[in-house]
Structures are given as structure tokens and as C-alpha cells.
Chain A
Amino acid sequence: MAIELNPLEQFKIERLVPLHIGKLDVSYTNSALAMTVVVVLITALIIIGTRRAALVPGRLQSLVEMTYEFVADMIDSNVGREARGYLPFIFSLFTFILLANLLGLVPYSFTVTSHIIITLALALVVFIGVTIIGIVRHGFHFFSLFVPHGVPLPLLIILVPIEVLSYFIRPFTLSIRLFANMLAGHTMLAIFGGFAAAIGLAAIFPVAINTGLIGLELLVAVLQAYVFAILTCLYLRDSIHLH
């Protein structure tokens, strides 16, 4: 085969500006660049979109307002109105993941969310933050989350470890879900793209498949951002309204 198939090459991290503090490698990488682009783009979109706040919104303003309303509704219906204070955090989380996923679909760009370290860091922020909120709001009573009520004592010996485990698994499921979906999707696209480059005229078939896959990946990109945000809401709800 003339062209080497290397579908995982797209995930390689490269140091753009090597930087070292002591033994710590804090180089500015292509991953950091992609994240910078995402953050700058979100900020610019929102600032420009809300600069001329019109009663009848234009296209950009509509976009910003719809995103805001979407996240606000998500919090209202999943956690309740009193959780509106957490809107900035969930809004940032949602838009960051959404744009990182979408920008990753641009050819030759870098998909930040296909690296588990990024998604795990996001998930751990959510997990630790939600736990702290729960402890601050309910004190020691928060740990009653691990004790299902109305259960006979002998069963608790089994159920409490299961509850604890299922609680501490949350950051992992949250991060692996996003990471695995992005990684698998982009690898698949690259594999079919590699086929297309290798087989000449018959390339029309893998290209056709890729055309469909791009649509699927768009769906996955948006849905994964949505799932991440809604799960953050559900975890938040658990620590605000202790059941």
C-alpha cells in the first residue's frame, strides 16, 4: 500500500512552544492551542452577539440567547430554579465541550476532547465541585446519600459499598463517555479517509461513507456536550436536594 494508514496520528500532541518550569513540562502544545481557540471563539461570539442588544435579535444575538436559554432551561427542569447560581459554570462547560467537539471536526484541526486527560480533568472538576457543594449545603448529613433508606441492616453491608462505588465512578463514566465517543469517531473518519487515499477510483465508496459519518459525528459532538452538561445538572441535583 502506497499510503500508510495511521488513523491515530491526528491525536498526537506536539509542543509548539517548549516551556519548562523546573522539571515540569508546561509547553504550549497543539492541544493548548485548540483550547485557546475554543475559549477565544466562545468569548468573541458572546461579546459580539450581545454588543448591540436589540429587542428583535439578529442572527448572532439569537444564537447566543438560544444557547443561554437552552442551558437555563436545562438547569430549571433538572435541578430547579434555585440552582440558577450555577448557570455560569454549566454554561461554560457546555459551550466549551460543544465548541471543542465541533472545531475538532474541521479537517486538520485538533480534537481536545479526544484526550482522556482533558475530559477527566473536566469531570473531576464537576465531581469534586459537586461533592463540596453537597457537603457545604448538608454537612455530615450529605453522606446519607450512600445509605438507601428502608433497607434492612444486613443488606446495607452490600448496598453501601455499591452506592459508594457508583458515586466514585461518576467522574470516570463522565469522562470516558466523551473521550471514547470522540476518539472512536475521529479514528473511524481517519480510517475511511485513509482507504480513500489508497484505492484510487474506488475511493468514491469510502468518501460516501465518510460523508454520512461526518453527519453522525456532528450529532455525536452536539449530543455529547449535551449529555455532559445534563449529567452535571443531575449530579448537582443529587447534592442540592438530598433524597
Chain B
Amino acid sequence: MSDSDKPDPLARLGAELDRARASRPPPPQPSGDGGNLQQGIGLGLRIGVEFVVAILIATGLGWVIDQWAGTRPWGTIVLFFLGVGAGMVNVYRAVAGIGMAVGYRRNAAGKPPAKDDWDDEE
């Protein structure tokens, strides 16, 4: 059965598209200085806010809980430290993503080796 026998032109087009897509090389990974610079600045701008906001929001939340539950200093204190932790986790996540392939897809092919090395050290 050849392509021309197919009655539906859309189906034929679909098959052709699939063939073309299969023959196309995988999407190029952004490389070169331009991409790295863009990514670097983007990352820098990202993590700058991450840490501060985490602490501020968490402490604010703790204060609100204190007002509401009347547990004066404890909610603020506990949530402040949790906020510091959350901020560090966020920054670590943002930074740890750099070394991995663009987009650091962790479950695409298991864990990337770089990540495993980190785990072993801990």
C-alpha cells in the first residue's frame, strides 16, 4: 500500500510529518556564550530574591499565627528558622540545577551522575 492510496490527505500529511520528525536531529541544547550568559544572569536574578522572600514570608506567617493563636514568640521563632531552611533549600535547588543538562530533567534517564556524586559526599 503506497501513500497515494490513502484517501485522507490529512492522515498522509500526518504520516509525512511523523517521518520528517523522526529524521530530524534531537532539539539542539542551547550552548555557547550567549546561552550561558543568559542562563547565568537569569539564575542570578532568580536566587537573589529566593532566600530573602522565604524568610520574610515565613516569619510573617509565624507572626500571624501568633496573633491568631496567642502563642506569642514561638510561632515567629519556629517559622523564622523554617523560613531560613526553606530559603536555603530553594537556593540549593536553583543552583544544583546548573550542572545538570538544561532543565535538569532528573527522571529522564535516572539520576544524572553529577547529582549522585553530591549524594555520596553527604
Q: Which residues of A come within 8 Å of B, CB atoms?
A: 73, 76-80, 158, 161-163, 165-166, 169, 172-173, 176-177, 180-181, 219-220, 223-224, 226-227, 230-231, 233-234, 237, 241, 243
Contact = CB atoms under 8 A, between A and B. Distances in A.
Given A78-B103, A223-B42, A226-B38, A73 B53 contact: no
B46 A227 contact: yes
B29 A163 contact: no
Interface of A is mostly: helix
B65 interface: no
B86 A162 contact: yes
B89 interface: yes
Nearest to B119: A150
Contacts, number: 78
B27 A169 contact: no
Given A169-B90, A176-B53, A241-B105, A223 B45 contact: yes
Given A162-B89, A177-B49, 12 more contacts: A73-B27, A158-B85, A163-B86, A165-B79, A166-B90, A173-B53, A176-B49, A177-B48, A223-B41, A226-B42, A230-B42, A243-B106
A47 B85 CA distance: 47
Nearest to B43: A227
Given A73-B27, A77-B103, A161 B82 contact: yes
Interface string B81-121: 01101110110000000000011011110000000000000
Interface string B36-68: 001001100110111001100110000000000
